Structure 1
Amino acid sequence: MAEIKLKDKLLNYKIVRSQRKTIGIIIKVDQELLVRAPQTTSLKNIERLLHKKTDWILRKLKKVAQIKPAPAAKKFINGEQFSYLGQKYELIIKNSSAAAKVELFSDKIIVNYPAVQQGDYQARQPIIRKILVDWYRKQAKIKIEQRILNYKDLLGVEPNRIVVKKQRKRWGSCSSKGNLNFNWKIIMAPPPIIDYLVVHELSHLVHANHSKAFWQTVASLIPEVEKKREWLRINARQLDF
């Protein structure tokens, strides 16, 4: 790690050298300052660029600092908190003679765990996680399809196919064939955020880009679009287990 002082802040940064031809500055989500540089670039030239980009770097670090960290890994035991539609629910695991089932009751998310699959904690953990993930994905598809029905006619569009799946870096996407893909984890967010995501992807059936006209289309149906985008930027890592 190298060290540099930008204005009144002393920062550590990492240099990664490769066959690239230009210097790139990256602020990672964990606030790490990363510099990607050509093999032959001198430390002096790297520092010169960092000083030149001081205001941009400090501004980006300030924004990244607002991002909430990912939650601690779940153990899938009684009493843990899980988010659903922006609300927190306490996990309750019940042994059952019937098939696996998930229910919401008051502020509880209840997993009926099949008695035939009883075992020690380590054996149960992945099974309970799968039961929950399957339920979340099913609920996400139901809620997203309901919202698509609410908005598609207002935009005069008809999606070809709707898929809810795990996506590593995206909350949603729209293919050239009109297929809409959504990350199931969005079901943990408040309903207005889900509405924003649905309208965002539907609007790509009108504008296949992020032009001014695209954002005007989104804003015509979703109030305070920038606040919705900012909420996702800050809270995205929390929507996980």
Structure 2
Amino acid sequence: MPLSPLKRLLTSDPGQPDGPDSLLIDGREVPVRYRGNAQARRIIMRMEKDGQGIVLTVPPGTGAQAAHEFARSQAAWIWQRLASEEQIQQAEILVGRSITIRDTEHVIETASGRGVPVHIRDLPSPRLMVRGDAEHMRRRITDFLKREARSDLQKASRGYADAMQVDFARLSVRDTTSRWGSCSSSGTLSYSWRLIMAPPNVLDYVCAHEVAHIEQMNHGPEFWELVYRHCPHTDFARNWLKREGHTLHKLPI
């Protein structure tokens, strides 16, 4: 008498699938492996150790096809976990690469133990040390750079506002692609956080430029006279942004 599908599942090699061997999620084939377990009370799903597929543990009385349908209903969860594995691979690519912070190259390295998630180590050579799970590396580095950028931008903007005897309403930091900074009619200053990766004189000039707009909402002669009077390295910064500004969007973050 031939074995039923469930008996075949329970008596065969757990590493051999007894149902559809893959699941199609958003155009990507995800390998599926089945395991029979007489003690299981429900279908249990977990990721393979390599993160490239799923394992379905099937209880008595449940066929492999039903387990496969259960997995299909959990496609969103599977996709999120697969994306996480891709982030780990991306993080591995980041380690050992260099990122420029305030015109100084820092090699990205992982750090062990407890402490702040990201910090700069200057000796024996500049390093950007990152703690925590690999899949969070890119986000942690970006968050760190945004905090550093906000600190530098706030300090420079406040300095120029005091010097020009104006005030701004608030300051925001974004990841803009069309401009490095802006000033609204209400006095809100907005900057690209990627300026933290430019030479400090460049970040400083952008702050001078935007704060000057609080007084002169144009690019007329009076505006430029105000900028040049307070920011003597304006020409250097403007030329650098024209030549090198695009490179800030090509860095690994």
User: TM-score with structure 1 length normalisation?
Assistant: 0.61
Q: Is the 8 A contact 2:201 2:233 kept in 1?
A: no
Secondary structure in structure 2 of the residue aligned to 1:237: helix
Aligned to 1:112: 130
Cα gap change, 1:178/1:79 in structure 2, threshold over 3 Å: closer, same or farther?
same
Supply the distance in 2 between the matched residues of 1:148 and 1:164 (Cα, whole angstroms). 12
Could you tell me which of 118, 138, 147 is aligned with 2:147? 138
Indicate the larger mover: 93-102 or 138-147. 93-102
Q: CA deviation at 1:154?
A: 1.1
Q: Is the 8 A contact 2:91 2:137 kept in 1?
A: no
Q: Is the 8 A contact 1:74 1:80 kept in 2?
A: no
Aligned to 1:166: 175
Aligned to 1:88: 105
Q: Is the 8 A contact 1:172 1:201 kept in 2?
A: yes
Unaligned runs of 5+ in 2: 1-89
| Percent of residue pairs bearing the same amino acid type | 24
Matched residue count: 160
Q: CA deviation at 1:75?
A: 6.1
Aligned to 2:229: 220
What code does the residue aligned with 1:102 have?
Answer: H
Q: Is the 8 A contact 2:106 2:128 kept in 1?
A: no
Supply the distance in 2 between the matched residues of 1:112 and 1:83 (Cα, whole angstroms). 15
Supply the distance in 1 between the matched residues of 2:145 and 2:92 (Cα, whole angstroms). 17
**1:67-125 Cα distance to aligned partner (Å, 9 max, x none):** xxxxxx996433211100011111111233556233332333333322xx35xxxxx3x
Secondary structure in structure 2 of the residue aligned to 1:204: helix
Cα gap change, 1:145/1:224 in structure 2, threshold over 3 Å: closer, same or farther?
closer
Q: Is the 8 A contact 2:130 2:141 kept in 1?
A: no
Question: How is 1:1-241 mapped onto 2 (pairs within 5 angstroms)?
Answer: 76-97=93-114, 100-106=117-123, 107-114=125-132, 117=133, 124=135, 127-240=136-249, 241=251
Supply the distance in 2 between the matched residues of 1:76 and 1:191 (Cα, whole angstroms). 28
Supply the distance in 1 between the matched residues of 2:234 and 2:118 (Cα, whole angstroms). 36
Q: Which has the higher contact order (CA 8 A, sep 6+)?
A: 1
Supply the distance in 2 between the matched residues of 1:212 and 1:202 (Cα, whole angstroms). 16
The alignment's C-alpha RMSD in Å is: 2.0
Q: Is the 8 A contact 1:137 1:184 kept in 2?
A: yes
Supply the distance in 1 between the matched residues of 2:180 and 2:195 (Cα, whole angstroms). 7
Supply the distance in 2 between the matched residues of 1:75 and 1:188 (Cα, whole angstroms). 21
Q: CA deviation at 1:139?
A: 0.3
Q: Is the 8 A contact 1:140 1:186 kept in 2?
A: yes
TM superposition outliers: structure 1 runs of 4+ over 4 Å: 73-76
Q: Is the 8 A contact 2:182 2:191 kept in 1?
A: yes
Cα gap change, 1:139/1:224 in structure 2, threshold over 3 Å: closer, same or farther?
closer
What code does the residue aligned with 2:113 have?
Answer: S
Cα gap change, 1:193/1:98 in structure 2, threshold over 3 Å: closer, same or farther?
closer
